Amino acid sequence: MSSKSTSRFQIAVVGGGIVGKACALLLAQQGMQVALIAPRPVGDTARTGEDDWDSRIYAFSASSQALLERLRVWEALDPDRIQPVRDMRVFGDESAAQTNPTAHGDLHFSAYAAAVPQLAWIIESSHVERVLDTALRFQHQVQWFDDTAETLERDMDGVTLTLGNGQRVRANCLVGADGARSWVRQQCHIGTTQRRYRQLGVVANFRCELPHQDTAWQWFLGAPEKLMADEEAANGEILAMLPLPGQRVSMVWSADEAHARDLLALTPEALAATVGELANGAVGRHFGTLRCITPAQGFPLVLQRAEQFVQPHVALVGDAAHVVHPLAGQGMNLGLRDVVELGRVMADKEAFRHEGDLRLLRRYERARATDLLSLTAATDGLHRLFSLPGTPARMVRNLGMRAVGGQGLLKRFLISRALG
């Protein structure tokens, strides 16, 4: 094929993560001709070892599970790599709640009480991506370009991408699913509003001595002591311990940047010991001795939103459109709900409209506004609340958590929102 040849599609998706692959697969299953533009994974073999677990894990909600089932991906996942979450316990930063070994937490969310089989499923990112890759290989409506886009041109009728090898891809609509630093968003000169949390998310997996009982745990730890005197720098740290199959757990520690760098420099043994001592030893009491089984990794935490989700012939999904704090574990689910809504808008498209019609794409943008606004307000608001210094602020927020914990209807409402 010559470098000047042009391939034509209804949709071009830029981005090879879970959201981008799911988007390409869904639109193809709806009968569209789709180009997926992303380098293919190299050397990513299946993880089957006793302690061979990806430290990048996601909590998939019921709505995300329904999408993967619709894509015929869910049934292809290895059940031995899927962990249901049946309970979630959340602790405030009040020392009494953390030091009492019989305390079950200021907030308890139960699948049984909510009359659902589980609250979420914990799955490794790499495992989901491998199954999506296999599904895409058998989807003849998708052509996967193992390359990156280098230039983007738009006109009245669509978008033309020029790839690194000189090949050109023409599409009625371009979907940017290429992450928080989206090339598509930059090329379209779409700005962002952003708030840096001055934290890193430190992730690692551990084997634990005691069973996790299908429970996700979260502790608001307050700010590190060395920052407490500086109200501007003080940022409440948050620890989440998520269950994995077997006696394994995955840690997501939202830590101050300097503290996070110290954590990343620890040996696996020292990191495990440090985590076990957190929340005045509560982590160790719940899990027993921890053994680190994956190298710790860190990623910056930001709150970010694109000023526009759509332009003529362009739509943004996933982290290209929005990034939220991981304390609720909903970032991936938000992105997959973007995919579902974009698919619905395309399926309901009038025959006289093409896929890049701005009036059509604005239906997608409007439909996603409420979900994103409510989740952003909840996650950012909680983070701000638990970063406020001082005893009065700590008393108010912990009393508030216990008040919510005593309201069964409110908790069921919160669970229904988390399920998507």
pLDDT digits (tens, 9 = 90+) for 388-420: 555 555 555 555 555 444 445 444 545 555 555
pLDDT digits 0-9 by tens, 373-390: 877 776 666 655 555 555
Higher pLDDT, 157 or 223: 157
Contacts of 128 (CB under 8 A, 6+ apart): 18, 58, 68, 73, 77
For residue 168, how many other CB atoms are within 10 A of its CB?
A: 16
> What is the Cβ-side half-sphere exposure of residue 107, based on CA atoms within 13 angstroms?
24
Q: What's this model's pTM, rounded to 2 decimal places?
A: 0.87
pLDDT digits 0-9 by tens, 243-281: 999 999 999 999 999 999 999 999 999 999 999 999 889
